[in-house]
Structure 1
Amino acid sequence: MRKTTLILPAIILAVIVAMSSVFIVDERQTALVLQFGQIKAVKEDPGLGFKIPLIQEVVYYDDRILSLETAEIEVTPSDDRRLVVDAFARYRITDVVQFRQAVGVGGLRVAEDRLERILNAQVREVLGSDQVTSATILSSERAGLMVRIRDNARLRALPLGLEVVDVRLKQTNLPVQNLDSTFARMRAEREREAADEIARGKEAAQRVRAQADRTVVEVESDAARTAEITRGEADANRNAVFAEAFGKDQEFFEFYRSLAAYRKAFQSGNSSMVMSPDSEFFDYFKTVTPQ
């Protein structure tokens, strides 16, 4: 009975010691085995690992690509037009031993503080260089600037055991105090462009209107000339017909002309005429013999 009483606690203690000597590494993690703060082993492969109970401890680090958003900072490009910029970085821990030695027990919190300072310094250095203007930052050349920031930050993050995978500029805005003046200047520029467009439109309209008026005058002139020519030719043909008729039968010609005069004179609505009965106008009325 006494032996059983001693064996049972020993078994329980042995189980506890065995369990505390085993640790599990997830496939998304890398583990460091520390003994009194010193690195004794690195466990990179997922699965079971072993350590000395009570003497050694295990610290886990994320092996995935992590994200870091920096705070807004002001930069001054070469054209002295201040901009407010914030960046977004992707990074991962590539050397856990170097990372542990660089940040100690602070872990990711200390590492991200240092990495943010590195990124901000590189953003100011690249965007504030002599070759970079605010127009460059806001143009398609922005991608090349982000690559330069990433490469510079990558070199400076290596001593931390970190690899900077990518850097992006999220926002590039004017400071609040400059927005009103900038919007006013943009509005004035747009109004000036609109006035120029309106003036050019009016000038073009005047040219079109003048050309149209000129075309109307030319067309009317050509039509009047053509009408006069046609009228002259018709009068010439009429006179030729009359002359030919007069030459063939003078009496019939005079009779025809008199009838035409009667028809025109006696139309309805004509004014009254007072004429002598023995006027030559009524010669053919006198010669008509009643049937």
Structure 2
Amino acid sequence: MNAKTIAIMAGILVVLIVGSKSLYIVDEKERAVLLQFGEVVDADVGPGLHFKLPVVNEVRKFDGRVQTLDARPQDYLTLEKKRLIVDSFLKWKISNVRSYYTATSGDEFRAGDILSSRVDTGLRNQFGQRTLNEVVSGEREELMLELRKTLSSATEEELGIEVIDIRVKRIDLPPEVSQSVYERMRAEREREARELRSKGKELAEGIRADADRQKTVLLAEAYREAETTRGQGDAAAAAIYAKAYNQDPEFYSFYRSLNAYQKTFSNKGDVMVVDPESDFFKYLKNATGN
């Protein structure tokens, strides 16, 4: 291998090294700045293949996607000076690459610390202006919206960061007061349960008394109607019997005597002591009853 070949190969190697140091790619999910001796010369390099001068230029890339900052639970005081333990999280992304790099040197952890401090201060101020009921349920959504607007306005100007959303995951009472609160809630629920049971029992007694009254009235009316119907039936039967008797009194008397004999002597073991000359046996002695 002669000197010329070596020189050509060395030149090609130098070109490859310089080319690799001069070309860089910015992904679509990234934001980047181009530095020249530490000074920003291109504040927002777009996605794609780009050229830079080795040694002179430096490229810093940052994640351009939405980031999640899960803050540590903190203690806050409400307007009534009640202490709450609040667990929150924040969604953010880079909006101004120059401001972001200048404020944080491109350090994501430093940006997270600054945001955590801002969120802590904002939540402390918002909770201090509201009561326990308001921060738990009444004005919770309004609180988060107001805090997001205030915080986003400040961080975009100072840090180049847009705050997309702030949410409270959990609000707890301190452990030392939780038990007493739970006991008070349990006592309140038991009191309400007793009141409901008492009202239910009173209502049940009223319904039962009304049902008994209606039952008595219905039975009385039914008995009255039954007695009326029975009386009418007895009267009709008596009228029919009287009419039949008047048509042929002798035959009617004979028929009734036969029925009496049949019922009286239906059992062979029956014993009856009666005067043979009584009217009971008149049709046994004589068919005409004489």
- Residues 90 and 286 from structure 1, CA distance in 2 versus in 1: closer, same or farther, beyond 3 angstroms? same
Match of 1:182 in 2: 181
Q: Distance in 2 between matches of 1:249 and 1:7?
A: 159
Asked whether the equivalents of residues 44 and 98 of structure 2 are also in contact (C-alpha less than 8 Å), the reply is no
Which one of the candidate residues 149, 152, 170 is aligned to 1:151? 149
Contact 2:25 2:50 in 1 (8 A): yes
> How far did residue 13 of structure 1 move?
5.7
**Hey, what does 1:261 align to over in structure 2?**
260
Distance in 2 (alpha carbons) for counterparts of 1:189 and 1:170: 27
Q: CA deviation at 1:169?
A: 1.7
C-alpha contact 1:92 1:162 (8 A) present in aligned 2: yes
What's the CA shift for 1:70? 0.9
**In the TM superposition, what is the alpha-carbon distance from 1:217 to its structure 2 partner?**
2.0
Mean Cα displacement is larger for which, 109-118 or 232-241? 232-241
**Over residues 230-289 of structure 1, what are the superposed CA-to-partner deviations in whole Å (9 max), with x where a residue is unaligned?**
222222223223332343333333333333433444443997432222223222222238
What does 1:61-100 align with in structure 2 at a 5 Å threshold?
Answer: 61-78=62-79, 80-100=81-101
Shift of 1:90: 1.4
What is the Cα deviation at residue 151 of structure 1? 0.8
User: How far 1:102 sits from its partner (Å)?
Assistant: 1.8
Matches within 5 A, 1:229-268: 229-268=228-267
User: Runs of at least 4 residues of structure 1 off by over 6 A?
Assistant: 1-11
Deviates more, 1:162-171 or 1:142-151: 142-151
Give the whole-Å Cα distance in 2 for the aligned partners of 1:71 and 1:116: 9
SS in 2 for 1:74: strand
| In structure 2, C-alpha distance between the alignment counterparts of 1:30 and 1:199, rounded to whole Å | 69
- Cα distance in 2 between the residues matched to 1:229 and 1:118: 93
| Deviation of the 1:150 alpha carbon | 1.0
Q: Distance in 2 between matches of 1:24 and 1:198?
A: 74
Deviation at residue 122 of structure 1 after TM alignment: 1.5
- Name the counterpart of 1:163: 162
Q: What 5-or-longer segments of structure 1 have no aligned partner? A: none
TM-score (norm 1): 0.81
Q: May I ask how many residue pairs the two structures share in their alignment?
A: 286
- Are the aligned partners of 1:30 and 1:42 in contact in 2 as well (CA < 8 Å)? no
Kindly indicate whether the alpha-carbon contact (under 8 Å) linking 1:146 and 1:167 is maintained by their aligned counterparts in 2: yes
Are the equivalent residues in 1 in contact too, given 2:44–2:97 (CA < 8 A)?
no
Residue pairs, 1:1-291, within 5 angstroms: 16-17=17-18, 19-78=20-79, 80-104=81-105, 107-130=107-130, 133-139=131-137, 141-158=139-156, 159-268=158-267, 272-288=271-287
Q: 1:236 to 1:155 in 2, by over 3 A?
A: same
CA 1:79–1:282 in structure 2 vs 1: closer, same or farther (change >3 Å)?
A: farther
How far does residue 66 in structure 1 lie from its aligned partner after superposition? 1.7
User: Helix, strand or coil for the counterpart of 1:54?
Assistant: coil
Distance 1:43 1:13, change over 3 A: farther
Cα contact 1:64–1:92 (8 A) shared by 2: yes
Matched to 2:278, the amino acid is S
CA distance in 1: counterparts of 2:76 and 2:201, whole angstroms: 45
Q: Unmatched 5+ residue regions in structure 2?
A: none
Distance 1:234 1:267, change over 3 A: farther
TM-superposition CA deviations, 1:112-168 (whole Å, max 9, x none): 1111111111122223323xx433444375333322221111022121111111222
SS at match of 1:237: helix
User: Aligned partners of 2:264, 2:99: CA distance in 1, in Å?
Assistant: 127
The alpha-carbon distance between structure 1 residues 117 and 270, as it changes in their structure 2 partners (threshold 3 A), is: farther
1:176 Cα deviation from its structure 2 partner: 2.6
Tell me, yes or no, if the aligned pair for 1:81 and 1:134 is still in contact at 8 Å: yes
Identity over the aligned pairs, expressed in percent? 38
Query: In the aligned structure 1, how far is the partner of 2:4 from the partner of 2:18?
Result: 21
CA distance in 2, matches of 1:95, 1:140: 35
Structure 1: which amino acid aligns with 2:126? V
> CA 1:269 to 1:156, structure 2 compared with 1: closer, same or farther past 3 Å?
farther
